[in-house]
A and B are shown apart, each in its own frame.
Chain A
Amino acid sequence: MSEWETVIGLEVHAQLTTKSKIFSGASIAYGAEPNTQACAVDLGLPGVLPVLNQAAVHKAVKFGLAVDAFIEQHAVFARKNYFYPDLPKGYQISQLDRPIVGKGSLDIQLEDGTERCINITRAHLEEDAGKSLHEDYHGMTGIDLNRAGTPLLEIVSEPDLRSAEEAVAYLKTLHALVTYLGICDGNMQEGSFRCDANVSVRPVGQTELGTRCEIKNINSFKFVEKAIQIESARQIALIESGGKVHQATRLYDPTKNETRAMRSKEEANDYRYFPDPDLLPVVLSDEYIAAIKADMPELPKAKCARFEKDYGLSAYDAAVLTSSRALADYFEAVVKALNGEAKLVANWVTGTLMAALNKDAIRIENSPVNAERFSGLLQRILDDTISGKIAKTVFDAMWTDDVAADVVIEQKGLKQIADTGELEKIVDEVLAASPKQVEQFKSGNEKIIGYLVGQVMQKTQGKANPKQVNALLKEKL
């Protein structure tokens, strides 16, 4: 039995964060009542004509520059013709020849730290179709055209990926990139970032590609991983049992964890592409491209390197903190508010804050504790008002109650007992109550002091400054 290699190419659809649709002035806001965000142009009424949204072009070029791609200065829109009820014009305006972004590449890092360069074939602009609603109608289909005309950047990779894990790493890197660039909000639940995976298998060592299947519309990192694993296993099993893979479009069902054949949109896939005669070629000047280049934000890789260097963070922390632009911005805002102290901030952000975000499945952008309040909390650790342990309690209160750290500390009386007189009294009490431990200490077991500190902390409900307690104990012993 031969060893198998999986070959994957991804087509990512990133919805661009324009205010209006790619060829009309209608809004692209998510979640509106069906057919309330579709104008005559989106409905494909007779006589209407498309007008290109320049912001979509700008964002596509930004992406192209970020992946060192060839930027087409004479990009052409084409019509992709097919019939489907949620495709209002009977064709989708897309790009075939001369896509706006040509060949480029993206470096990805795998879990074990190895780096790989994944080639990007192209990225082209296109309009989204509408949505067919089957659930609410008996024997009929409803059509919602709100999404029709939403601007998409379809980013096509070469079949350079060799495992589900690599595919996920690539997707995550791409996701971070488009959100850094501010061209896509990356919201996968709302379908703003979704992908089709082309999967084939071949015996290790074979150079020619196997027959591929395309898994459509996957909208989470986890599902991509599972879908690819399941699909490659299916293909291998099929071939090993003497069968043959037939090129097809498949669908991943997360509840059954299986892929299954999808009814194709048109029996024979001849889209009859031709240049859209309603749209002139997009001509981009050198100056236009240079201006976008000059205005590029710091990208994840550069930011990660800077975090390591400037903040003295570990490679791991830097990578985690730069995995999303919002997280990186949050971190930097807190560090700035505290005039440095990057390590303390990094520990708190990657630890307590991210744990809370993950637990409640909240994006950093919507964190109940914003950067300003978070710095307020850490400030109190730095000025010895509270201990790190107490700070966790304060954080929990801030997370649920929408209050500032100082308010929690005040209300709950969590200030450290800094007054030596009061602390001394408690230390004396503890020493008096623990003659055995004092004996042990005196006979050379210095570790026992930890127990005594613990006792003091318990008595003060954690409000004592451990350093002070330590010093006091040593003094008295």
Chain B
Amino acid sequence: MKQTAAELAKALAAGETTSEKITESYLDRIARIDPNFNSFITVCNDQAMQAARESDERRQNGSPRSALDGVPIAQKDLFCTQGIKTSCGSRMLDSFVSPYNATLIDKCNAAGLIMLGKTNMDEFAMGSSNENSYYGHVRNPWDTDRVPGGSSGGSAAAVAARLAPWATGTDTGGSIRQPAAFCGLTGLKPSYGLVSRYGMVAFASSLDQGGPMAQTAEDAALLLNVIAGFDEKDSTSIEHDVPDYTATLNNDLSGLTAGLPEEYFTGDLDPAMAEVIEQSKKVLAEQGVSFKPISLPRAHLAAPAYYVIAPAECSSNLARLDGVRYGYRCDNPKDLLDMYCRSRGEAFGDEVKRRVMVGAYALSAGFYDAYYVKAQQIRRLMKNDFDKAFEQVDFILSPTTPSPAFKLGEKTGDPITMYLNDVFTIAVNLAGLPALSMPAGFVDDLPVGVQLIGQYFDEARLLNVAHRYQQKTEWHRAMPDVCK
């Protein structure tokens, strides 16, 4: 169970094991220990075993769908899966079974990946702690009193506890990178438009992006190879050549320059976190990376702009959940308005309601210019700041989070403090850039991550840097006790 996806693929190719064996052992492990973490909403025992047997047949016939055929995966419950519940962590969709597959799911199937189940998440991907799920909070395998991060906390916990070799997440403001950092994983938020959003239930359409959550950069590259690419069903997906992300993993790093945003390295940064960054810089410097201070002058505006744009889009995206066609409907509605109000009132959790209301307010005729338009202007300026920075550096390095995983319940009473947990990750989504979080050390015995931010479509570079870093470090090999 300690194997990476790459190692499993190798073992399958060599005939050392079968997908059936691998899949069965993961399913057993989920049944045994996931009650400690609550990382799955749905476990697909029968479908997974059936798919594994079919994969083994393909291997035997010499016609595997890809080198990864037969490797299991866990999918965030935000991706629509035909015939299998897609709840988005919400009571609203507790009964929703999609009649179609998300493009990402189709691509995973086409590669022969075996879906073990659908992972727990903050309701409709809104949250930084995975405490906003209708199916209960997820616990961090490194310390079950702590959060795994959100909103892809189920995926992060599942991979950290080795209940799946890897998983998918979605990242609207840091929801892949922050839980990856909290759980000691490598998580990549791809460039906006690289991975199709078709079938990924929308939270904030202009910010959402699906991506891999893995043990290593190599695995992240392998999974990105599967899920990246233009999709005619998603108008915002970009027609762009998708390289083989594993081909450049071992490229030489010498001569690269990394930018250090001065706004992210202020006196406010936890000294322990600062020390982790220093250590990782050293490792990279030894490989020839040089460092240069840069400025992202509007960094402090990222969170305010984000918390206007994301709720605005979510208020509109979630309007279709009205109790009329599918999903939750309240009992015995008096009239239409009552049906809307009670269905939504009873089925949405507090955080979703909070953001829907903030968003409706920000878009309302009287406040549109003051909030939404202004936020979009800030967004453009922030993108310009990044563009300027990338004239001087090849990538940017920063902490992923201000601190390691916090305790369950610690921040739930104060949404603003919770929102500030995303301070290092949000700007990237506003600018549509790719960013990766890799395990870079421990603070208080908890894993923490370092974030690498790249230029548009420069995923290969980020994976290359992370992979070379992981060749020189052991952080990504560290596992919580539950795996020992």
A residues near B (Cβ < 8 Å) are 40, 43-52, 79, 81, 83, 85, 88-91, 143, 270, 272-274, 277-280
- For window 399-453 of B, CB contacts with A under 8 Å fall at none
**Contact B102–A90 (Cβ < 8 Å):** no
CA distance A403 to B201 in the complex (A): 60
Q: What residues on B are CB-neighbors of A279 within 8 Å? A: 235-236
**Contact A83–B234 (Cβ < 8 Å):** no
| A–B complex contacts, Cβ < 8 Å, 22 sampled | A44-B320, A45-B326, A46-B86, A46-B93, A46-B320, A46-B321, A47-B198, A47-B202, A48-B100, A49-B235, A49-B236, A51-B235, A79-B316, A83-B322, A85-B322, A89-B319, A90-B318, A91-B316, A143-B324, A272-B365, A274-B372, A277-B206
Q: Report, nearest first, the 7 A-B pairs whose CB atoms are least far apart.
A: A90-B319, A272-B363, A277-B206, A277-B205, A47-B199, A46-B201, A47-B80
Instruction: Output the least CB separation between B39 and chain A (Å).
Output: 22
Q: Is B99 an interface residue (CB 8 A)?
A: yes
CA distance A274 to B205 in the complex (A): 13
Q: What residues on B are CB-neighbors of A51 within 8 Å? A: 232-235
CA distance A46 to B201 in the complex (A): 5
Q: What residues on A are CB-neighbors of B363 within 8 Å? A: 81, 272-274
Q: Is B247 an interface residue (CB 8 A)?
A: no
CA distance A257 to B80 in the complex (A): 51
Instruction: Output the least CB separation between B42 and chain A (Å).
Output: 15
Q: Which residue of A lies closest to B206 (CB)?
A: A277
CA distance A45 to B365 in the complex (A): 28
Instruction: Output the least CB separation between B84 and chain A (Å).
Output: 13
Q: Which residue of B lies closest to A276 (CB)?
A: B205
Q: Is B20 an interface residue (CB 8 A)?
A: no
CA distance A50 to B204 in the complex (A): 15
Q: Is B312 an interface residue (CB 8 A)?
A: yes
Instruction: Output the least CB separation between A125 and chain B (Å).
Output: 14
Instruction: Output the least CB separation between A418 and chain B (Å).
Output: 70
**Contact A81–B316 (Cβ < 8 Å):** yes
Q: What residues on B are CB-neighbors of A83 within 8 Å? A: 319, 322, 340
CA distance A187 to B316 in the complex (A): 34
CA distance A52 to B232 in the complex (A): 10
Q: Is B115 an interface residue (CB 8 A)?
A: no
CA distance A272 to B371 in the complex (A): 12
CA distance A226 to B199 in the complex (A): 48
**Contact A85–B197 (Cβ < 8 Å):** no
Question: Given the interface contacts A46-B201, A270-B365, does A88 sit within 8 Å of B235 by beta carbon?
Answer: no
**Contact B336–A85 (Cβ < 8 Å):** yes
Q: What residues on B are CB-neighbors of A46 within 8 Å? A: 80, 86, 88, 93, 96, 98, 201-202, 320-321
CA distance A5 to B324 in the complex (A): 45
Q: What residues on B are CB-neighbors of A270 within 8 Å? A: 364-365
Instruction: Output the least CB separation between A188 and chain B (Å).
Output: 30
CA distance A51 to B318 in the complex (A): 19
- For window 355-393 of B, CB contacts with A under 8 Å fall at 360, 363-365, 368, 372
**Contact A40–B236 (Cβ < 8 Å):** no
Q: Which residue of A lies closest to B238 (CB)?
A: A280
**Contact B233–A49 (Cβ < 8 Å):** yes
Question: Given the interface contacts A47-B202, A85-B336, A272-B363, does A277 sit within 8 Å of B313 by beta carbon?
Answer: yes
CA distance A48 to B86 in the complex (A): 13
CA distance A265 to B436 in the complex (A): 46
Q: Is B479 an interface residue (CB 8 A)?
A: no
Q: What residues on A are CB-neighbors of B197 within 8 Å? A: 49
**Contact B325–A88 (Cβ < 8 Å):** yes
User: Assuming A52-B235, A277-B205, A278-B202, what are 4 further A-B pairs, CB within 8 angstroms?
Assistant: A40-B100, A45-B80, A47-B198, A280-B235
CA distance A43 to B88 in the complex (A): 18
B198, B204, B316: most-surrounded residue (chain A CB, <10 A): B316
Q: What residues on B are CB-neighbors of A88 within 8 Å? A: 320, 324-325
CA distance A223 to B458 in the complex (A): 61
Interface size counted on chain B using CB atoms at 8 A? 44
B residues near A (Cβ < 8 Å) are 79-80, 86, 88, 93, 96, 98-100, 102, 197-202, 204-206, 232-236, 312-313, 315-316, 318-322, 324-326, 336, 340, 360, 363-365, 368, 372
Q: What residues on A are CB-neighbors of B102 within 8 Å? A: 47
Q: What residues on A are CB-neighbors of B365 within 8 Å? A: 270, 272
CA distance A81 to B363 in the complex (A): 10
Instruction: Output the least CB separation between B105 and chain A (Å).
Output: 10
Q: What residues on B are CB-neighbors of A90 within 8 Å? A: 316, 318-322
CA distance A85 to B233 in the complex (A): 26
B100, B201, B324, B336: most-surrounded residue (chain A CB, <10 A): B324
Q: What residues on A are CB-neighbors of B199 within 8 Å? A: 47-48
**Contact B372–A50 (Cβ < 8 Å):** no
CA distance A71 to B363 in the complex (A): 28
Q: What residues on B are CB-neighbors of A143 within 8 Å? A: 324-325
**Contact B313–A44 (Cβ < 8 Å):** no
Instruction: Output the least CB separation between A416 and chain B (Å).
Output: 67
CA distance A88 to B317 in the complex (A): 11
A46, A50, A270, A273: most-surrounded residue (chain B CB, <10 A): A46
Q: What residues on B are CB-neighbors of A277 within 8 Å? A: 204-206, 236, 313
**Contact B236–A278 (Cβ < 8 Å):** yes
Instruction: Output the least CB separation between A276 and chain B (Å).
Output: 8
Instruction: Output the least CB separation between A288 and chain B (Å).
Output: 18
A81, A85, A273, A280: the one within 8 Å of B319 (CB): A81
Instruction: Output the least CB separation between A244 and chain B (Å).
Output: 24
Q: Which residue of B lies closest to A272 (CB)?
A: B363
**Contact A274–B312 (Cβ < 8 Å):** yes
Q: Which residue of A lies closest to B319 (CB)?
A: A90
CA distance A52 to B198 in the complex (A): 14
Q: What residues on B are CB-neighbors of A45 within 8 Å? A: 80, 98-100, 326
CA distance A46 to B202 in the complex (A): 7
**Contact A278–B205 (Cβ < 8 Å):** yes
Q: What residues on A are CB-neighbors of B322 within 8 Å? A: 83, 85, 90
**Contact A44–B233 (Cβ < 8 Å):** no
CA distance A146 to B442 in the complex (A): 57
CA distance A394 to B282 in the complex (A): 101
Instruction: Output the least CB separation between B321 and chain A (Å).
Output: 8
CA distance A23 to B408 in the complex (A): 43
Instruction: Output the least CB separation between A403 and chain B (Å).
Output: 52
**Contact B368–A274 (Cβ < 8 Å):** yes
Q: Which residue of B lies closest to A40 (CB)?
A: B100
CA distance A279 to B235 in the complex (A): 6
Instruction: Output the least CB separation between B346 and chain A (Å).
Output: 16
Q: What residues on B are CB-neighbors of A89 within 8 Å? A: 319-320
Instruction: Output the least CB separation between A54 and chain B (Å).
Output: 12
Q: What residues on A are CB-neighbors of B201 within 8 Å? A: 46-47
CA distance A279 to B202 in the complex (A): 13
A51, A90, A143: most-surrounded residue (chain B CB, <10 A): A90
CA distance A49 to B234 in the complex (A): 6
Q: What residues on B are CB-neighbors of A273 within 8 Å? A: 363, 368
Question: Given the interface contacts A47-B198, A49-B197, A49-B233, does A40 sit within 8 Å of B316 by beta carbon?
Answer: no
CA distance A48 to B201 in the complex (A): 8
Q: Which residue of A lies closest to B327 (CB)?
A: A46
**Contact A40–B99 (Cβ < 8 Å):** yes
Q: Which residue of A lies closest to B101 (CB)?
A: A47
A43, A47, A81, A279: most-surrounded residue (chain B CB, <10 A): A47
**Contact A274–B325 (Cβ < 8 Å):** no
CA distance A24 to B197 in the complex (A): 16
**Contact B325–A44 (Cβ < 8 Å):** yes
Q: What residues on A are CB-neighbors of B319 within 8 Å? A: 81, 83, 89-91
Instruction: Output the least CB separation between A345 and chain B (Å).
Output: 50
CA distance A40 to B102 in the complex (A): 12
Q: What residues on B are CB-neighbors of A272 within 8 Å? A: 315-316, 360, 363-365, 368
CA distance A43 to B96 in the complex (A): 14
B88, B204, B233: most-surrounded residue (chain A CB, <10 A): B233
Q: What residues on B are CB-neighbors of A40 within 8 Å? A: 99-100
Q: What residues on A are CB-neighbors of B86 within 8 Å? A: 46-47
Q: What residues on A are CB-neighbors of B98 within 8 Å? A: 45-47
